[in-house]
Amino acid sequence: MQSRLDKSPVATWWWTIDRWFLAAFLSLMGLGIVLSFAASPAVAERIGLDSFHFATRQIIFTVPALGVMLAVSFLDSRQIRRMALIMLCLMLVLMVAVLYIGIEVKGARRWVSIAGLSIQPSEFLKPAFVIMCAWLFAEHKRQPDIPGNLFAMLLLVLVVSLLVAQPDLGQTMLTTGTWGIMFFMAGLPWLWIIVLGAAGVGGVFAAYTVFPHVALRIDKFLTGEGDTFQVDMGRDALINGGWFGVGPGEGTVKRVIPDSHADFVFSVAGEEFGLIMCFFIMSIFAFIVLRGLNTALKEHDDFTRYAVGGLVTVFGLQAVINMCVNLQLVPAKGMTLPFISYGGSSQIAIAISMGMVLALTRKRPEKRKQMGFTLPQRAMPAE
């Protein structure tokens, strides 16, 4: 245990970090490894791999993800902004490159191979986009003559255009929704709320009209007709598990669903460990989002407030979409459950995001000064 008198960087970090956030993130990482051992062996055997191929790789991904999260948590807000700017520029370049040299999967180009590693630039773009928009909103509020809101809108248009071009409409909705919530936090007028809401509805209709696969998924969801095998099996697995589950290793959904270790790991958890496990997972995500928003509400620095609010929002929305797909509450969409679903790019990208949350919510002397706290002054002897 570090002493409070120890002024080393590690000791200072330990006494200033939000340990509730840290414990919640570590819990999700641990659950990801446990559920990978439960969900992935059947998938690996079905495609001719070693039984623990995906589970082993999940551990391999989690170790650097944990290191990245802790490393980012040591940064201050200025370093976070610089890091985000570099990430944003690099990922925008890769997003353009994906359209030409990306790996095509099911008609979409979302991955690019670099030095033998497959990277999904949109995953890393999200935290950088949130941080830069938070900075633009904060600068506009600090100096209204700076067109920060306009630049944030232009950045949104650029990012959305690149996402739609892939196409990746799930990430488009996630990014746009997060941006809208941050704009709302920044105090946008009601007129803008109406305009942006109408634009969102128009975007959904346009996607339904232009992209056949979107129309097909929405039609399947609304009518129940067509190939709904995966979502039906995911829902049935949750029903089959009941409150306490059928027992570790006894589930059946993982033997028939191709993505049981990724998009449908929540269903595997429900079938084998019961609804109690599902509620436990949901409570961790809810705790992170609510604690993040509560911390942002109390924060006096505009940039920190918008950034923390935006980061936990995109984190929470992604989890909600994944769980709702498993529960057949929304049309099917391939989106990972943060820290739990199998995936290297998503693990590292989410670790960067949550490392930023840890960094921005650390207790610092300048924060205490902003909140009106000052250190007691030693009384001077009378002359």
Contacts of 33 (CB under 8 A, 6+ apart): 55, 58, 59, 62
Domain coverage including residue 298? 15-360
78-87, 106-115, 265-274, 291-300: lowest mean pLDDT where? 106-115
Q: 109 phi and psi, to 5 degrees? A: -110, 105
Q: Is there a domain that residue 365 lies in?
A: no
Question: pLDDT band for position 221 (50/70/90)?
Answer: low
Q: Is there a domain that residue 150 lies in?
A: yes
Return d(Cα 78, Cα 83) in angstroms, integer. Answer: 9
What average pLDDT does this structure show over 202-208? 75
Return d(Cα 352, Cα 69) in angstroms, integer. Answer: 5
Relative to beta strand 108-114, strand 117-119 is: antiparallel
- List the structure tokens of 109: 């180009």
Return d(Cα 243, Cα 223) in angstroms, integer. Answer: 29
Q: Is there a domain that residue 383 lies in?
A: no
Compute the C-alpha angle 199/126/204, nearest 5°: 25
pTM (two decimals): 0.87
Q: How many domains, the chain? A: 1
Residue that the structure tokens 């207790």 belong to = 363
Q: Is there a domain that residue 108 lies in?
A: yes
Counting every residue written for the chain, the total comes to 383
Q: Is there a domain that residue 3 lies in?
A: no
Q: Is there a domain that residue 381 lies in?
A: no
Return d(Cα 216, Cα 263) in angstroms, integer. Answer: 19
Q: Is there a domain that residue 263 lies in?
A: yes
Residue 255 per-residue DSSP state: G
Q: Which of 340, 334, 231 has its CA nearest to residue 285?
A: 340
6-31 pLDDT, tens digit per residue, is: 677 788 888 889 999 999 999 999 99
Flag whether pLDDT at 65 surpasses 50. yes
126-149 pLDDT, tens digit per residue, is: 999 999 999 999 998 888 888 888
